[in-house]
Structure 1
Amino acid sequence: MATRKASYWRKMVLIYLIVIMAVIFALFPIYWMIRSSLTPNKIMYEVNPAIIPRQLTLNHYKELFTETTFMRYFKNSLYVATLTTLISIVISVLASYSLTRLRFRFRPLVSRSIILSYLLPAAVLFIPMHVLISRLGFIDTKNALLIVYPTFTIPYCCYMLISYFRTIPASIEEAALIDGCSYLQVLRKIILPIAAPGIAVVMTFSFTLAWKEFLYALVLTTSPSEQTVTIGIASFRFSDQYIWGLLMSSSVIASIPTMFLYLLSQKFMIGGLTAGSVKS
Structure 2
Amino acid sequence: MKKSNIRNARIKTAMVYIVSLIGIVWSLFPIYWMLKSSLTPNSEMYGINPSLLPSKITLEHYKQLFTQTVFMRYFLNSLYVAVFSTVVALVLSILASYAMTRLNFRGRNFMRKSVLFAYLLPTAVLFIPMYIMISRIGLGDNKNSLIIVYQTFIIPYCCYMLMSYFTAIPKSMEEAAFIDGCSHLQALMKIVLPIAAPSIAVVATFAFTLSWNEYLYALVLTTSASQQTVTIGISGFRYSDNYIWGLIMCSSVIASIPAVVLYMMAQRFMVSGLAAGGVKQ
Query: TM-score, normalised on structure 2?
Result: 0.98
Cα drift, residue 14 of structure 1: 0.6
* Partner AA of 1:3 in structure 2: S
SS at match of 1:149: helix
Q: Deviations over 1:21-76 (max 9, x none)?
A: 01111111111001100100001011111111111111101110111000000000
1:257 is aligned to 2:254: no
Unaligned runs of 5+ in 1: none
List gaps (5 residues or longer) in structure 2: none
**What is the match of residue 57 of structure 2?**
56
Tell me how far apart the structure 1 counterparts of residues 169 and 53 of structure 2 sit (CA, whole Å).
Answer: 50
Q: Percent identity?
A: 60
Please give the residue correspondences for 1:133-144 in structure 2 after superposition, counting only pairs within 5 Å. Answer: 133-144=134-145
Residue 242 (structure 1) aligns with: 243
- 1:172-221, CA deviations, whole angstroms, 9 ceiling, x for partnerless residues? 11111111111011000110000000000000000000000000000000
Show the counterpart of 1:89: 90
Counterparts of 1:51 and 1:5, CA distance in 2: 39
Distance in 2 separating the partners of 1:6 and 1:119: 48
Partner of 2:177: 176
Partner amino acid, structure 2, of 1:188: M
1:47 is matched with which residue? Answer: 48
Whole-angstrom CA distance in 2 between matches of 1:227 and 1:186: 41
TM-score where L is the length of structure 1: 0.98
Higher mean Cα deviation, 244-253 or 163-172?
163-172
Q: Which residue of 2 aligns with 1:156?
A: 157
**After TM superposition, what 4+ stretches of structure 1 lie above 6 angstroms from structure 2?**
none
What amino acid does structure 1 have at the position aligned with 2:243?
Y
Correspondence 1:123 to 2:87:
no
Greater Cα shift, 111-120 or 247-256:
111-120
- Give the partner amino acid of 2:267: Q
Would you say how many aligned residue pairs link Structure 1 and Structure 2? 279
1:148-185 CA-partner distances (Å, limit 9, x unpaired):
00111000000000011011111111111111111011
State the 1:236 CA deviation. Answer: 0.2
- Secondary structure of the residue aligned to 1:255 is helix
Matched to 2:232, the amino acid is: I
- Displacement of 1:277 after TM fit? 2.5
AA aligned to 1:51 is: L
Letter in 2 for 1:4: N
Q: How far, CA to CA, are the matches of 1:217 and 1:247 in structure 2?
A: 18
Q: What is the CA deviation profile of residues 72-112 of structure 1, one whole-angstrom value per residue up to 9, with x for unaligned ones?
A: 00000000000000000000000000000000000000111
In structure 2, how many angstroms separate the alpha carbons of the residues matched to 1:226 and 1:258?
21
Q: Which amino acid aligns with 1:238?
A: Y
Match for residue 192 of structure 1?
A: 193
Counterpart CA distance in 1 for 2:164 and 2:16 is: 32
Aligned partner of 1:215: which letter? Answer: L
Q: Residues of 1 paired with 2:46 and 2:126: CA distance? A: 40
Q: How does 1:210-225 map to 2 (within 5 A)?
A: 210-225=211-226
Letter in 1 for 2:111: V
In the aligned structure 2, how far is the partner of 1:165 from the partner of 1:28? 38
In the alignment, residue 139 of structure 1 is paired with which amino acid? Answer: G
What is the letter of the counterpart of residue 202 of structure 1?
V
AA aligned opposite 1:35: K
Which residue does the alignment assign to 1:11?
Answer: 12
Cα separation, 2, equivalents of 1:10 and 1:71: 51
Whichever residue aligns with residue 46 of structure 1, its letter is G
Aligned partner letter, 2:53: I
User: Per-residue deviation at 1:2?
Assistant: 1.6
Alignment partners' CA distance in 1, 2:178 and 2:276: 23
- 2:17 and 2:81 map into 1 onto residues whose CA distance is 42
What residue number does 1:99 align with?
100
